[in-house]
Amino acid sequence: MIDFEAMKLGKFFEDLRRRNRMTQETLEFEAKLDRKTISNLENDRSKPSFETLVKIAHVYHMRPSALVLELEEKTNLLECLKQTDPDAE
């Protein structure tokens, strides 16, 4: 079995933004998010809310479900969110 470390959430969001040739300022404007929110996501200081994921998905012309699936595949999103939510199963 191959053991690998999942990409950090912040790295995923930064890579996604850069692949789409956007600056944080452009994403801030397009997604109607605060730049601090974007910076905190990209630097792993916060986790995305569902509303934030929906906004980001729309900017990149993705369905929110497709973004969540890609996040889960590359970052183990569900495990990460469970660690921050004591009520998660």
What is the chain's mean pLDDT, rounded? 84
pTM, entire model: 0.76
In angstroms, the Cα distances linking 54 to 5, 61, 68, 85 are: 26, 10, 9, 20
Separation of alpha carbons 35 and 40, rounded Å: 8
The structure tokens listed for 10 are 């912040």
Q: Is the pLDDT of residue 2 over 50?
A: no
Would you say residue 1 lies in a domain?
no
Contacts of 22 (CB under 8 A, 6+ apart): 30, 59
pLDDT tens digits for 30-64?
999 999 999 999 999 998 899 999 999 999 999 99
Compare 19 and 9 and report the one with higher pLDDT.
Answer: 19
Compare 15 and 74 and report the one with higher pLDDT.
Answer: 15
Would you say residue 71 lies in a domain?
yes
Alpha helices in 1-89 (DSSP H): 9-19, 24-31, 35-42, 50-59, 64-75, 77-84
Domain that holds residue 34: 9-84
* pLDDT for the residue numbered 4: 39
Would you say residue 89 lies in a domain?
no
Q: How many domains does the chain fold into? A: 1
Domain with residue 48: its CATH number is 1.10.260.40
Would you say residue 3 lies in a domain?
no
